Amino acid sequence: MSDPKTEHFVAPIDDAVVEVDALKLDEQKSNLWLDAWRDLRRRPLFYAALGMVLLVTVMALWPTLFTDVPPNDDCQLSNSNSAATAGHPMGFTFQGCDVYARVVWGARTSLAVGILVVAITAVIGIPMGAIAGFFGGKVDSILSRIGDIFFSIPYFLAAVVVMSVLADMRSVWTIALAIGGFAWASLARILRAEVLQVKNSDYVMASEAVGRGRMSTLLRHVLPNSLTPVIVTLTISLGAAIVAEATLSFLGIGLGDTIMSWGNDISKAQTSIRTSPMALIWPSLVLTLTVLAFIVLGELIRDALDPKARARR
Amino acid sequence: MLTYILRRVLQAIPVFFGTTLLIYFMVFAMPGDPIAGLFGDKTPNPAVADALRAQYNLDQPFIMQYFLYMKDFFTGNLGVTFSGQSVNDVLVRAFPVTLKLVVMAVVLEFILSVATGLIAGLRKGKLFDNASLIFALVFSSVPVFVAMFLAQYFIGIKLGWAPVTAGVDTSWGAMLLPALVIALTIYVTGMRLMRGSVIESRQADYVRTAYAKGLTHRRIVPVHIARNSLIPVITNTAASFGALIAGTTVTEYIFNIPGIGKVLFDAITKSEVPTVVSFVTILTVIYVIVNILVDLLYAVLDPRIRYV
């Protein structure tokens, strides 16, 4: 009410324009997502993380943009563990393959596993968590107990069992199933807790009062308003899934030798760590930066979507 | 409190049977053959394969396999590994080593979390706050096996400050480097919890009162701020204890530490599926038990939990 024009409203004598005080028409549109986007755009770290994610994505989709060297067919044992030369900026592996080419081509595997794990986690975890939280009662008890069981097996150990048994059919699909098949339980828990809070909101009650069905209320009002922690968790778990794949490959129960993956390459490079550490360090570095990018992205989105955290800064 | 303990323990019983059943079901339902892996590329002699199947009850129907395993489990007979050692003996030998490693890692993690979290919280928004968060986040994204190799290469081989591998020497000193690396890769969560609750405590009424009655900063920080911020950090540390016991495979392999993780690793590389399954089951059971203890610890520390 600080605007002097509207403090004492007097009927206009002539054709003066009436000021409307309740609406500031020129103000920027504002909602949770727009605010978050504006916040993210101001942070340099966001661009760095996004840049890394985009770089790896392009590498995965079009590896030939980055290197002409075939990662597998051009290996010469005479180059075994050689240092970097012109055209081979990262040197050679024990088998005499170009490290740079293998790093570029390995992006595809890591990203594919990451995306598949996130998809599996979302497809199982979101319905489990949302239905348990929203319907409550017996449904909640049953779904939550099932979730507890999956949650209580450390998902890495579960993946070890699955991949050990599936010795003959190791592929991007089986490894994603082995990880995602257990990783969904923590997403379901997080979403359930969020849904429990959201479902007591006035707008949910209003939606039911006007006769909307339960399921439709859940899909139209409750779920969209509970997605913040889901997006954050999924972004971070993409990074975690890439680590899990690399670790399983490192243990020798991940992807077969024929599939190029950063984990496989690091595992193979360990035998010659003393003579040519760079064959181990380069794929490790790219792997770490990729994971870091996804984790930082998740953290920044969490911060941006939380008005309280924005105020705290 | 007693009701809470009782309820929490009762809740764990279905989880215990559920997890063990699930692990057994996975092995049973999956298309691979747990025995075939043992023979590598060779075609197994049917008689030998059948004898092995009988030894691990794999010739029985699924639910019988599970019941037989549970019967053995509760009578304290955990079975035999493929090399013929009793799993009980292996556990007695390997578990204390893993426990030692994990305890050391958890203590280091706690110290790191509390120290950096406290300073970051007291200097919110300053250089140390931002730098320590980035530092911890970077460490948390380094996959454990990468971190272990780098530490082994630079600190063990290049600088020679620490033993490259532990081997039979499982003294505290020999395992300090791997424990420190574990702590560095996980302390980010504890640090942020500490920082968050320090920031909250600083604005709490009891801290304002302490300043108002003339206490010095030097007394208020440790006694009023730090102590009241510790609860979430302690429970987080306790929770990571369970996760670490179940997850030392890579560390113990790289530093050649003869703990449970190393046993599991050897079984994995030799494709001894039944041994893998039995150690994964044991680790999962330990994980479930530790998590109950963590919940109880939480209830002891924070009275609000007990009454929910």
Which are the contacts of B284, defined by CB distance < 8 A and separation ≥ 6?
A: A152, A153, A154, A157, B19, B20, B23, B246
Enumerate the residues of chain A whose CB falls inside 8 A of the CB of residue B31.
166, 169
Interface confidence: ipTM more than 0.95: no
Q: What is the total residue count of chain B?
A: 308
Distance CA A237, CA A156 (A): 13
Whether B265 has its CB under 8 Å from any CB of chain A: the answer is yes
Contact: B145, A266; criterion CB under 8 Å: yes
Which are the contacts of A75, defined by CB distance < 8 A and separation ≥ 6?
A: A93, A95, A96, A97, A98
Whether B303 has its CB under 8 Å from any CB of chain A: the answer is no
> Considering only residues 34 to 63 of chain B, which have any Cβ-Cβ distance to chain A shorter than 8 Å?
34, 36-37
The per-residue pLDDT for range A137-161, each reduced to its tens digit, is 888 888 988 888 888 888 888 888 8
Enumerate the residues of chain A whose CB falls inside 8 A of the CB of residue B253.
251
pLDDT the model gives residue B103 = 92
Instruction: Place B113 in a pLDDT band, splitting at 50, 70 and 90.
Output: very high
Residue B149 pLDDT more than 50? yes
Contact: A158, B23; criterion CB under 8 Å: yes
Instruction: Place A1 in a pLDDT band, splitting at 50, 70 and 90.
Output: very low
Alpha-helix residue ranges (DSSP H) falling in chain A = 4-7, 32-41, 44-61, 99-135, 137-151, 155-165, 172-198, 202-209, 214-217, 223-225, 227-251, 262-269, 278-305, 307-312
Min distance A62 CA to chain B CA atoms (Å)? 25
Check: CB of residue B23 under 8 Å from CB of residue B277. Answer: yes
The per-residue pLDDT for range B126-140, each reduced to its tens digit, is 888 888 888 888 888
- B130 alpha carbon, distance to own chain's centre: 28
Residue A265 pLDDT more than 70? yes
Residue A22 pLDDT more than 70? no
**Mean pLDDT value of segment A289-309:** 83
pLDDT the model gives residue A275 = 72
Check: CB of residue B152 under 8 Å from CB of residue B257. Answer: no
Q: Which of A46, A161, A174 to mutate to test the interface with B (most CBs of B within 10 A)?
A: A161
Whether B268 has its CB under 8 Å from any CB of chain A: the answer is yes
Residue B233 pLDDT more than 70? yes
Q: pTM value?
A: 0.82
Least confident interval from A167-171, A293-297, B110-114, B222-226: A167-171
Min distance A252 CA to chain B CA atoms (Å)? 7
Min distance B268 CA to chain A CA atoms (Å)? 7
pLDDT the model gives residue A6 = 54
Enumerate the residues of chain B whose CB falls inside 8 A of the CB of residue A158.
23, 26, 280
Across the A/B interface, how many CB contacts are shorter than 8 Å? Answer: 137
Whether B138 has its CB under 8 Å from any CB of chain A: the answer is yes
pLDDT the model gives residue A81 = 62
Q: What is the DSSP string of A243-279?
A: HHHHHHHHHTSSS-TTS--HHHHHHHHGGGTTT-THH
Which are the contacts of B182, defined by CB distance < 8 A and separation ≥ 6?
A: B101, B105, B108, B109, B144, B244, B248, B251
Number of Cβ within a 10 Å radius of residue A309: 13
> Considering only residues 224 to 283 of chain A, which have any Cβ-Cβ distance to chain B shorter than 8 Å?
239, 243, 246-247, 250-253, 266, 270, 273-274, 277, 280-281
Residue B107 pLDDT more than 90? yes
Instruction: Place B255 in a pLDDT band, splitting at 50, 70 and 90.
Output: confident
Q: Which two tokens stand for residue B213?
A: 């009655």
